[in-house]
Structure 1
Amino acid sequence: MSEDHTHVQEFFGARAADWDSKFPADEPAFTTAVTDFGLRPGDRVLDAGCGTGRALTALRAAVGPSGTVLGVDLTPQMLDAARRGGRAVAGVLLLADVTRLPLRDAALDAVFAAGLIAHLPDPAANLRELARVVRPGGRLALFHPIGRAALAARHGRALTADDLRAEHNLGPLLSGAGWDMTSYTDEDARFLALAVRA
């Protein structure tokens, strides 16, 4: 396992038990983002870096009983918290690395990724891996329950022009990884970039 991955596991592993109670107001934002994502009944969707599974129930509601919901995370403690929270009933939880998914090419209709992009060791290559497992015309949602400025303020830092999630950086990054960005929202209350598999 790479040093980046070990750091991510240690960071989230130490915070898994109280993650949901630390950010209780985020739940409605997840539901709204999933609604705006536009999934259809029967879709096969991956929650990449699913954490405690806050999007799983909304994803299941969107794809219905005929759809497939898969939650993948690198941190066992996060998946344990998802199970304890009763979210495993909404989808299959899998301990796996989103940078090397154990899925066949074009297996999915969509990928939902909340707070993931900032933790990817090689964003260009890792977004290509997400594109690999999605059929042409399938979709990607990059979401965060608060916007870039609010998140920077929460962490006591200023926004810079080289922020990966800035529209002028994210659009070309997605394009180079096989995605076409179709919408971009960066407000205090949420960040949501939607893209289609080229």
Structure 2
Amino acid sequence: MSDDPTHVQEFFGPRAAGWDSRFPDDGPAYAAAVAELGLRPGASVLDAGCGTGRALPALRAAVGPAGTVVGVDLTPEMLAEAVRAGRDGTGALLRTDVARLPLRGGTLDAVFGAGLVSHLADPAAGLRELARVVRPGGRLALFHPVGRVALAARHGRLITEDDLRAEHNLRPLLSAAGWQMVSYVDEDDRYLVMSVRQGH
């Protein structure tokens, strides 16, 4: 699949309606990943590429009623499913490109990105934009409820050395964008990379 914005919408749009029912057991994995962000009540967090908003309830629970939760996605059908599921009540939903966020610099405490990196048209630019909107010391969680091998098998593929989500590829990409990788987990039932925003 090509990763330019039009193709992302073409891929996810027709799949939006049945998306949550295809993966009904992912909720606890999302909640566990959100917990690792260490969000405090009152914090501001972005769900980048939020899809149907599966992470939004856990993000809202973490930051509490005084916190700010924003979900952004490129695909209107996915956002419509988030609204249908009632998840718009847990955070503000915006249709926008992760590479061009309508947010001021340094305003967020954290970013959560499920299945995000492999769908960015320009991963380096996307990660730089996420760094722009996060304060120094803020955190980025790149998550998927299954690891790279399991995900590739689901699509009938093998993982290759040039896989963007492999640690040896992702670490320098994050670093160049202003993030320092602090942990990397790639197991059958979990993929989670935690990074900290560099700078003062």
Q: Which residue of 1 aligns with 2:111?
A: 111
Number of the residue aligned with 1:58: 58
* Paired letter, 1:129: E
What TM-score does the superposition give when structure 2 sets the normalisation length? 0.96
> How many angstroms does 1:196 deviate by?
0.4
Q: String of CA shifts for 1:81-103, please: whole Å, max 9, x gaps.
A: 00000111110111111110011
The structure whose residues are more often helix, as a share, is: 1
After superposition, the C-alpha distances for 1:59-91 in whole angstroms (9 at most, x for unaligned) are 000011111000001011101000000111110
Q: Percent identity?
A: 73
2:44 touches 2:109 (CA, 8 Å); kept in 1?
A: yes
> What corresponds to 1:68 in structure 2?
68
Amino acid at match of 1:30: Y
- What SS does the corresponding residue of 2:161 show, helix, strand or coil? coil
Which position in structure 1 is the counterpart of 2:49?
49
Aligned counterparts of 2:107 and 2:92: Cα–Cα separation in 1: 15
Structure 1 counterpart of 2:96, one-letter code: A
- Alignment of structure 1 residues 1-198 onto 2, 5 Å: 4-198=4-198
2: CA distance between counterparts of 1:3 and 1:87? Answer: 26
Q: CA deviation at 1:47?
A: 0.1
1 CA distance for matches of 2:47 and 2:64?
15
What is the CA–CA distance in structure 1 between the aligned matches of 2:13 and 2:139, rounded to whole Å? 29
Q: 2: CA distance between counterparts of 1:21 and 1:3? A: 24
Letter in 2 for 1:142: L
Contact 2:3 2:121 in 1 (8 A): no
Q: Counterparts of 1:136 and 1:116 in 2: how far apart (Å)? A: 21
The Cα RMSD (Å) is 1.1
1:97 and 1:125 map into 2 onto residues whose CA distance is 11
Q: Whole-Å Cα distance in 1 between the matches of residues 64 and 182 of structure 2?
A: 25
> Equivalents in 1 of 2:130, 2:12: separation in Å?
21
Secondary structure of the 2:36 match is: helix
2:47 partner letter: D
- C-alpha displacement at 1:173, in angstroms? 0.7
CA distance in structure 1 between the partners assigned to 2:98 and 2:138 by the alignment: 17
- The Cα offsets for residues 4-62 of structure 1, whole Å up to 9 and x where unpaired, read as 11100111111000000011111111011101221111110000000000000000000
Q: Secondary structure of 2:94's partner? A: strand
- TM-superposed CA distance for 1:3, in Å, is 7.8
Cα distance in 1, alignment partners of residues 121 and 151 from structure 2: 20
- Secondary structure of the equivalent of 2:156? coil
Amino acid at match of 1:41: P
Q: Secondary structure at the match of 1:65?
A: coil
Contact 2:162 2:169 (C-alpha < 8 Å) held by counterparts: yes
For structure 2, the residue ranges without an aligned partner over 5 or more in a row are none
Could you tell me which runs of 5 or more consecutive residues in structure 1 were left unpaired when the two chains were aligned.
Answer: none
